[in-house]
Copies of this chain bind each other. A is one copy, B any other.
Amino acid sequence: MAESIINFTRGIPPADVFPVKDLIECGEAALRRDPYVLLQYSHSGYTPLHEWLGGQYGIGPDQILTSNSSLEIFSFITQHLLSPGARAFVELPSYDRAITLLRRTGAELAGIPLEEDGVNLSILEEELGKNVPVLMYVIADFHNPMGVTTSLEKRKRLVALAEEYGFWIVEDAPYRKLRYLGQDVPSLWSLSPARVLHMSSFSKVLSPGLRLGYVVGPAETIASLSQWAVDSYIGPVLPTQGMVYEYCRRGLLESNIERLKQVYRPRLQAVLSALDKYIPQATWTRPEGGFFVGVTLPEGSDIVSLQKQAEGEGLKLTDGRAFFPDPADGNRFLRIPFCSLTPEEIEEGVSRLARLL
């Protein structure tokens, strides 16, 4: 039987959700209105977009830096703040690309185990007692790869510890607006604007090809990061900043996010139902939004051999070890991204996975 391949690997949006027509119109309108700014050098991105973002966060544009993706901003943060031998904390597991950028700086990484409601605070405090990090990288909303959301109680404790010990929390929040169930929890940044650098982007709520990310933080830190960015590339790509500004200015972003939630909510539900139905012997998180469900496979499973077997069953899996600073910790870990698959594809994928286990 010829089966179509089901891809449980990259966390990308499905192409058919991009608002192509609106983006074309907005790109054109922006370039017509402001060509001599958008086609010229800038040092800090497109001011109207910075002002719009400032309005969203209730801050001035001097507290915002935009760049060509929030990952690039994280690269600037790590280069700017870390040096070889400095310490950095990540959740365990964490976003593989963030781990790669932290390692590049020669920093010493410590992973703080992530529970259903955020990191294990006893272990965090124990690690803080050993040596204070320069920064801790946290995805508090709909974690990549785990899917969990840090509770308000743990958020309060996290920022209190950051203030007490004097380290930065880098809050990566690309999925924050994509909540399909439950209630928003205040961002870490809103709880401690002086100790949190809050990153987000338009990749998950609009289009990743735009590579438009930003960071919110204290004005003087944003000024230093902006200088680092200027030294790295002079200024970010501008015509796409104009396009996104126009899209936001017309009030299209909120309705686009609502539309995405309608598409993604049943996909999340499909993963959870399929896991209940086909693989009850595994354990998994129950996310209320975002792109991922984190699955711990049953005892005795091995993600690497499973990945190989899965290829023969028309199923592509991600090697879960990449999300752990010590890869061996991820031998039984599987990240299931659900946004770019239909509920039917998701059920079929999980059933194929079940046959392999």
Looking at the complex, which of A149-157, A176-184, A229-237 is the stretch in contact with chain B? A229-237
Verify B104–A68 contact, CB threshold 8 A: no
Verify B41–A10 contact, CB threshold 8 A: yes
Which A183-216 residues have C-beta < 8 A from chain B?
Answer: 203, 207-212
The distance from the CB of A143 to the nearest CB of chain B, in whole angstroms, is: 19
Q: Tell whether A301 is near chain B: CB-to-CB under 8 Å.
A: no
Which residues on B sit within 8 Å (CB–CB) of A38? 209
The distance from the CB of A326 to the nearest CB of chain B, in whole angstroms, is: 19
Q: Tell whether A342 is near chain B: CB-to-CB under 8 Å.
A: no
Looking at the complex, which of A21-29, A85-93, A122-130, A266-274 is the stretch in contact with chain B? A21-29
Verify B237–A209 contact, CB threshold 8 A: yes
Instruction: Mark interface residues in A11-30 (1 if CB within 8 Å of B CB, else 0).
Output: 01101101010011001100
| Residue in contact with A23 in the complex, picked from B31, B97, B231, B233, CB distance below 8 Å | B31
Which residues on B sit within 8 Å (CB–CB) of A255? none
Q: Tell whether A71 is near chain B: CB-to-CB under 8 Å.
A: yes
The distance from the CB of A101 to the nearest CB of chain B, in whole angstroms, is: 7
How many copies of this chain are found per oligomer? 2
Chain B residue with the shortest CB-CB distance to A206:
B39
Verify B10–A36 contact, CB threshold 8 A: no
Verify A211–B235 contact, CB threshold 8 A: yes
Q: How large is the interface on A (under 10, 10 to 19, 20 to 34, 35 or more residues)?
A: 35 or more
Q: Tell whether A148 is near chain B: CB-to-CB under 8 Å.
A: no
Verify B12–A209 contact, CB threshold 8 A: no
Chain B residue with the shortest CB-CB distance to A228:
B104
Secondary structure of the A side of the interface?
Answer: helix
Chain B residue with the shortest CB-CB distance to A38:
B209
Which residues on B sit within 8 Å (CB–CB) of A18? 35-36, 39-40
Which residues on B sit within 8 Å (CB–CB) of A24? 27-28, 31-32
Q: Tell whether A42 is near chain B: CB-to-CB under 8 Å.
A: yes
Q: Tell whether A296 is near chain B: CB-to-CB under 8 Å.
A: no
Q: Tell whether A100 is near chain B: CB-to-CB under 8 Å.
A: yes
| Residue in contact with A101 in the complex, picked from B12, B211, B231, CB distance below 8 Å | B231
Report, nearest first, the 6 A-B pairs whose CB atoms are least far apart.
A15-B36, A209-B238, A39-B207, A72-B233, A237-B237, A39-B209
Please, could you name 11 A-B residue pairs with CB atoms under 8 Å apart, sorted by A? A15-B36, A23-B31, A24-B28, A24-B32, A37-B209, A69-B234, A71-B232, A75-B232, A211-B235, A211-B236, A237-B240
Residues of A within 8 A of B (CB): 10, 12-13, 15-16, 18, 20, 23-24, 27-28, 31-32, 35-42, 68-69, 71-72, 75, 79, 97, 100-101, 104, 203, 207-212, 231-240, 243
